[in-house]
Structure 1
Amino acid sequence: MGRRQHGTDELLIADGLLHETKQGTDLQCDEYPFASTKEGSTKGDNRFSVRLIDGDDNETGGRRLDQMYTLNRILDGDAFYMKITD
């Protein structure tokens, strides 16, 4: 994992992905589409949304997403549909 400073923020590079934390807070940068997808924010086409959210929520969401991939046997390159609900 690499680290870079950007103003008061810290940019972390882990597993080839860029993760941002707001220094002095528990906030982390979350993105949609998920960075783990082919449409994710790390693909360079600038078609994504990012927002600082609570770090624990971000990490919980990442674990749940990983569980969804595993439980539904979604492999690299498989298409899937994400329905957003309240």
Structure 2
Amino acid sequence: MFTQARVELVMSKKDTSVKESAPHTYDALYRPERTFPCWVGKTVPGTKEPLHRLVDKEKQRQNRKHSIKECQKVWGDYSGTDLQCDEYPFAPTKEGSTKGDDRFSVHLIDGEDNETGGRRLDRMYTLNRVVDGAPSA
């Protein structure tokens, strides 16, 4: 096991398959004041503070459920559309939306785009053998 290796998920804003999730992640990291929930002085982990993998499926589900509630507060009922609630930090991280510090971001984006980003995250974790609780960025 390489404990000092840095594992990163790279998504380009120029990549059309993640044309909505990549800018959302960028905004969460570098312009958190533009994200929801919105509050003065908000910061989001992932640049100076690493994210930590969460493999517990129930806790991931709770992160997603909490994020969806936040999306519904901002955008209302979007059921019956192709839109999904994208969250950062990602649901399979210990820094997800249920952490309790409101240092997360949600955005309503195209569902296929959101699922592509999720598959890439899962592939990064799998290919790099990132274990539960291990840091990544």
Normalised to the residue count of structure 1, the TM-score between the two structures is 0.69
Once the 2 structures are TM-superposed, how far is the Cα of residue 42 of structure 1 from its aligned partner? 2.6
1:79 aligns to what?
Answer: 135
Q: 1:37 aligns with which of 85, 93, 97?
A: 93
SS in 2 for 1:45: coil
Corresponding pairs, count: 68
Structure 2: runs of 5 or more not aligned: 1-56, 69-76
SS in 2 for 1:50: strand
Give the alignment of 1:15-54 within 5 angstroms. Answer: 15=58, 16-17=61-62, 18=65, 20=68, 22-54=78-110
**Counterpart residue type for residue 56 of structure 1:** E
Structure 1: runs of 5 or more not aligned: 1-13, 82-86
- Write out the 4+ residue segments of structure 1 that deviate beyond 4 Å after TM superposition: none
Q: Which structure dedicates a bigger proportion of its chain to helix?
A: 2
Once the 2 structures are TM-superposed, how far is the Cα of residue 27 of structure 1 from its aligned partner? 0.4
Q: Which structure dedicates a bigger proportion of its chain to strand?
A: 1
Alpha-carbon displacement from aligned partner over 1:28-48 (angstroms, at most 9, x marks no partner): 000111111111113222110
**Counterpart residue type for residue 57 of structure 1:** D
**Is residue 58 of structure 1 aligned with residue 134 of structure 2?**
no
- Aligned-pair identity (%): 69
**Counterpart residue type for residue 26 of structure 1:** D
